Amino acid sequence: MCIHIFLTDGLPGLAVWDPDEVGIRVARDAPVSEVLREVRDILMIDLGAPASLGGPLRCFCGMPVELPDQLLPYALAAEAS
């Protein structure tokens, strides 16, 4: 089962693993670059996903993680730089 990313209001941090939803909830109003770093750390460190430094985020099963449309333009720009 692949990890899903959800935008959420009112989170106590930038990103939070939600095992009930098999997803990572990210703060809607947080800086996107920080959110992407936090999501990558959760995937790699906490969940054992393959390293994806400089590449697309990967689930622990190896499949690419789909980002919400609101994060996608920022993620593509961050990967290009």
Return the exposure string of 18-37: e unless at least 16 CB atoms fall within 10 Å of the residue's CB, then b: eeeeebbbbbeebebeebbe
pLDDT of residue 24: 94
Mean pLDDT by runs of 10 across the 81 residues of the chain is 87 90 90 88 89 79 86 57 48
pLDDT of residue 1: 60
